[in-house]
Every structure is written in structure tokens, then in C-alpha cells.
Structure 1
Amino acid sequence: MAKVYEFLANGFEEIEGLAPVDILRRGGVDIKTVSITGTEWVETSHGITIKADLKFEDIQSFEDADMLLLPGGMPGSSHLNEHEGVRQALIAQHKAGKRIGAICAAPMILASTGILDGKKATCYPGFEQYFSDSTEYTATLFQEDGNVITGEGPAATLPYAYKILSYFAGDGITGELQKGMMYTHLMESK
């Protein structure tokens, strides 16, 4: 079974943090939320308090991760960017050629670690200012480039999360889940 960790900091965007967890768990992926607050409790950008599965300090290594995820939101993305343990985990994940995902403001973290250098990426409009000159800002709903997927913002969360699920569960299971969650109906009504 695939193993995914999602880092959570105070001030993360609720939908970007929780919808991928919901979708991946429904699809059979072992995803754990990891608080960087020093406790299991994390407050979202809109004042909702949630309990993470794990505290960052309780994990010896993220070497078993098939993917690391970063939700956006402010100041959550800034807090994640300031956490040296998160930064080192992302760098190690990237060097190992394993998957990384970041949405909304969080791609700035990948940019600051050099992970987006030479890649195509998207983010919440305005956060592309953190990209290096070698990163191509696409302004698309989500962008895949090699082992990295980035998402634009809250509205991108569902297609971004379904794409991530497809990496681990395949298109068949992902498509069935989209049907069951009425996502295909939403897309047909456009």
C-alpha cells in the first residue's frame, strides 16, 4: 500500500489540507497528517482546530514515503517553509526521485528548496514571485512535472487530489471514486 505524509501547520487552508486526505483514504492510500506545531492539534486558516495523526517529532524518518504533500493557506505555508525538518524531508524526497505535491501558496516552499528549478509549476496567483527564473509558471489548475505536482488554489483541490490518487490507485479506482463522489456529474454540468 502506498504511504503518503501531509505536513500541517497552523494557518493551513482547510480544503487543500483535508480534501486530499479524504480522497486518498477513500481510494485505499495510507495517508497520515503530520503536525509541525509541537502537538497533534493544528488550527486552520479559518479557525477550525483539527487533530493530526502524528507529530513531526514522533517520526524517525520519512524514507518510507511514496509522496509528501503540502497544503497551502497563509500563514500555514510560511510556517512550513520555516520548519527545517520539513524542508530537509522534501529535499531528501526529491533527491530520491519520489513524489511531492504542493498547492496554492505551498509551491513557494518547493521553490525555496530548489525543487522547482527547471520545472513547470503553478500556484496561487502572486506566489509565482517566489519561483526562480528557471521555473516556468503555467497558471493552470494543476501542473505535473516529473515527480512534482503543484495546484493553483482551493478550486483546484479536487482535480489535484484525484490526479494524486491515480498515481497510486490507477485510473479505474480513481474514476469510480469520482463517480461516487459526484465529481463526474459536476464536470458534465459545465
Structure 2
Amino acid sequence: MTTKALVVVTDGAEEMETVITIDVTLAGFNSDGPVKCSRNVVILPDRKWSEIDPNSFDAFILPGGLNAAKTFANSKEIGETLKQYEQSGKLIAVICASPIALAKHSIGLGRRITSHPSVSGEFTNQFKYSEDRVVNDGNLITSRGPGTAFEFALEIVRKLKGESKVEQIISPMILK
């Protein structure tokens, strides 16, 4: 069975957190063309958000970058998709500042999460906050930032494809 994951990218997304996780479909949000990331790297999404059915994927991934995180937190469409994924038990994976979208859309309340330290104060009452580099709480994976992007991506693979697939990936990439 083919497993499909969707990464959503918008202006201000953090480059490493986007690129390291994108052996998947990359959907441009609020853009019909190239997206300028947080450090001015330009990424061309595979498809426009309006052209996809986000519920046809097995995982929904939001990269960080403060401007992207704010866009995701303020988006009705992202909120609806997050709620549908949570209700159906599908994997939600969010990194860096983008867990603010979880708080804004009331996703994963009471569960363990982590985030970039700059937004950690947003979660103290709604979640069980951790300073771990990657937190996997069932179908909700969160991570801290660019320095944890490989660990985050591997945890997504572990959840979707299992430990043997993670082991296949680690060796040729020279990861620990």
C-alpha cells in the first residue's frame, strides 16, 4: 500500500524543515507559484492547495518559520484539515513555531507536544509541553526547529513505514 504525505508550504516557511521532509507532495498555500521561504530560498510546490484534496493523504505536515506558522494558525482551511485529520486518527506532524496552529485550532489538546522555544509560552495551559527534540504522542508528532528536522522526518517515516524503513534511510544518509 502506498502511503502519501502532504507538506504545506507558504511564504516564510523554514527551508530546512520543508525540504528535509519533502519526499512527499508539496502543496503551495496562498500561492499559485514559487514560495519564498524564511531565508529567501524559493521553492516551487508540486501543486496548489486549491488543486488537492488534503484528506486523500495519510499525513499532514506543517513546516515552521514564524510567518508560515502565523499563516497556518490564521487559516480556516488549515484548521478544518487539522480537525479532519485528528478526528480520523491520521498523522499530523508539525515543527518549529507551527504548533501555534495546533493551539489556535484546538488540535491535540491535553497531549504532549514541543515547539521552537520562542513560542513555547503559547502552550502551557492547553498541552503537556516538553523540551524534547521530537515528541511523538500517537498520531501527533511535533519538533523544535531546523536542527531537529532530520529527527522529525525520521519519526514521520517511523510512524508511516516502520523501523525497518528508518534503518534503510539512516545508513546512506550518514545519519545517527
TM-score normalised by the shorter chain: which range applies? over 0.9
Q: Which residue of 1 aligns with 2:51?
A: 58
Say yes or no: does 1:161 pair with 2:153: yes
**How far does the alpha carbon of each residue in 1:116-166 deviate from its partner, in whole angstroms, 9 at most, with x for none?**
311010000031222251311101101011210000111111111111111
Q: Relative contact order (alpha carbons < 8 A, sep ≥ 6): 1 or 2 greater?
A: 1
Amino acid at match of 1:3: K
Question: Mapping of 1:98-117 within 5 angstroms?
Answer: 98-117=90-109
Q: Which residue of 1 aligns with 2:42?
A: 49
Amino acid at match of 2:3: A
Say yes or no: does 1:148 pair with 2:149: no
Instruction: Quote the RMSD (CA, aligned, Å).
Output: 1.2
TM-score by length of 2: 0.94
Contact 2:69–2:97, Cα closer than 8 Å, also in 1: yes
- Distance, in Å, in 1 between the alignment partners of 2:41 and 2:31 is 17
Contact 1:70–1:101, Cα closer than 8 Å, also in 2: yes
Identity %: 25
Amino acid at match of 1:51: L
Contact 1:112–1:130, Cα closer than 8 Å, also in 2: no
- Distance, in Å, in 1 between the alignment partners of 2:137 and 2:163 is 19
- Distance, in Å, in 2 between the alignment partners of 1:82 and 1:113 is 9
Q: Which residue of 2 aligns with 1:11?
A: 12
Cα shift at 1:83: 2.0
Q: 2:77 aligns with which of 62, 79, 85?
A: 85
Q: Which residue of 2 aligns with 1:36?
A: 29
Contact 1:116–1:131, Cα closer than 8 Å, also in 2: no
Cα shift at 1:37: 2.2
Structure 1 gap segments, 5+ residues each: 26-30, 185-190
Cα shift at 1:65: 1.4
- Distance, in Å, in 2 between the alignment partners of 1:90 and 1:132 is 20
* SS of the residue 2:54 aligns to: coil
* SS of the residue 1:180 aligns to: helix
